[in-house]
Structure 1
Amino acid sequence: MEIPQRQIRAVHSADTVTVYQAYSPAIGLAAVRDGRFSDGWKRERMTWVKPSFLWMMYRCGWGTKAGQETVLAVEISRGGFEWAVRNACLSGYEPGVHPDRATWQRQLKRSPTRVQWDPERDLHLRPLPHRSLQLGLSGEAVRRYADEWTVSIRDVTPLAHEIHALVKAGELDAASRLLPPERPYPMPEDGQSP
């Protein structure tokens, strides 16, 4: 079955969606310990969440890049996730989607969330032909993410390291079996993503 060019794929249950982020141990381990983002986590900055585990591995180098050594799986409410997607603007101007660049810029300034579609990655972190969703949260969306939507925060750094070791050893089937089971996310009809 062919994968659509843009499709939200994530680990999700009836109530939650899992997104990934990577932080320094000081921020990441405190979030795991407290079950929420607190000291050191800056609410005034845009924070990007990624439903794709492998895209997160690409971004953080399997949890080895400086300041991204702790990989978090953050379970958030489906309602929060869908609110973020419904209230998003594309992070870049696209002719045909936006009437003109000025309209897009106005939408971007007003929007509490941004959508960016980046190439999905394989186990070797090479780009695939289809795209993976990233959500940039700012302002109201950051506050809601931290205070309302977050259900749980887990440290998945050991999993990242284990999968990476299997990839380096050429054991791709074993590595694939450990990947989180991401599947298409069924956005409600009125909430299609940009």
Structure 2
Amino acid sequence: MLSLYKDQSANWPASGRYILAQFTPTTITVYQAYNRFIASYAVQHQTLGGPDFSLTRMTWIKPNFAWMMYRSAWATNKNQEHILAIELQRTVWDEMLLHGVVSSYGQSRAFANQEEWNAELKNSKIRIQWDPDHSLKGGKLKRRAIQVGVKHEWMDKYLEGIVRIEDITEFVREQGKLVEEGLVDAVMTPTETIYEVSDAIKMRLGMDLDEEVGDD
């Protein structure tokens, strides 16, 4: 489902840590950017893999469409020329959030001290980053956007949780052209609302803190 970005963004929180995403009762849509070889394999086989894809590296998953557009420069950055929309089981997504470790100490109250955080971060296969969200024009916002990095056994769980993969590059480029032409009010984006999580996840990821606390 698509909606005008200007209408959606008017209803989103201006600051704080929130997961803005498109989701159903059972799935959440996340985004990844790859080159055409990896993207083609993913669509054909409905999974990530192939000779050009590394299963041992950490892969980063983003549920926020606008933030993915900022990171990939609307599918123009090198090796990010194709945008994949990946429907993922919400049970897998929630489990990843619950086991993730924030990338900066002070961004979460889940750790007794910095030593405990360091130990968990070193051993964790799931990394959580809260980065400044951005507008369609690339302007930095006070609101934070989440990205989740997974590797090793959690990469396997992520792949098992994938329901559907779609290459949305053509749509991305159409909307990116509107932005380039200054027609931001006409831009359509996936309909995103706040993805609610459990209190345990909120504490784990520092979503219960003021946005300035522990931020870089």
Give the TM-score band, short-chain normalised.
over 0.9
1:128 equivalent among 124, 138, 141: 141
For normalisation by structure 1, the TM-score amounts to 0.92
2:133 and 2:69 map into 1 onto residues whose CA distance is: 11
Q: Is the 8 A contact 1:89 1:114 kept in 2?
A: yes
For 1:137 and 1:45, the matched residues in 2 are separated by: 8
Instruction: Verify the 8 A CA contact 1:63 1:70 in the aligned structure 2.
Output: yes
Please name the residue that 1:62 is paired with: 74
Would you say 1:182 and 2:192 are equivalent positions? yes
Aligned residue identity for 2:46: G
Question: How much has 1:114 moved relative to structure 2?
Answer: 1.2
State yes or no: 1:12 paired with 2:23: yes
In structure 1, distance between residues paired with 2:108 and 2:71: 29
Q: Does the CA contact (< 8 Å) of 2:14 and 2:141 recur in 1?
A: no
Gaps of 5+ in 2: 1-10, 206-216
User: Does residue 101 of structure 2 align to residue 101 of structure 1?
Assistant: no
Give unpaired runs (5+ residues) of structure 1: none
Q: Give the TM-score, by structure 2 length.
A: 0.83
The answer on whether the counterparts of 1:29 and 1:70 sit within 8 Å (CA) in structure 2 is: no
State the 1:4 CA deviation: 4.6
For 1:90, the equivalent position in structure 2 comes to: 102
Task: State yes or no: 1:116 paired with 2:129.
Answer: yes
- Kindly indicate whether the alpha-carbon contact (under 8 Å) linking 1:89 and 1:108 is maintained by their aligned counterparts in 2: yes
Task: Provide closer, same or farther for how the CA distance between residues 106 and 164 of structure 1 changes in structure 2, counting only shifts above 3 A.
Answer: same
User: Percent sequence identity over matched residues?
Assistant: 34
1:87 to 1:162, Cα distance in 2 relative to 1, 3 A: same
User: RMSD between aligned alpha carbons?
Assistant: 1.6
SS at match of 2:157: helix
The alpha-carbon deviation at position 105 of structure 1 amounts to: 1.2
Per the TM alignment, residue 103 of structure 1 is displaced from its structure 2 partner at its CA by 1.5
Q: Which residue of structure 2 lines up, in the alignment, with residue 158 of structure 1?
A: 170
| Shift in alpha-carbon separation, 1:15–1:95, aligned structure 2, 3 A | closer
Residue 33 (structure 1) shift: 1.4
**Deviation string, structure 1 residues 81-140 (Cα, Å, up to 9, x no partner):** 000000000012227734433211101123221110011111101111100010011222
Over 3 Å counting, the alpha-carbon distance change for 1:100 and 1:25 in structure 2 is same
The aligned counterpart of 1:72 is: 84
Shift of 1:19: 0.6
Partner of 2:185: 173
TM-superposed CA distance for 1:163, in Å, is 0.8
Equivalent residue pairs, number: 191
Distance in 1 of aligned mates of 2:41 and 2:195: 30
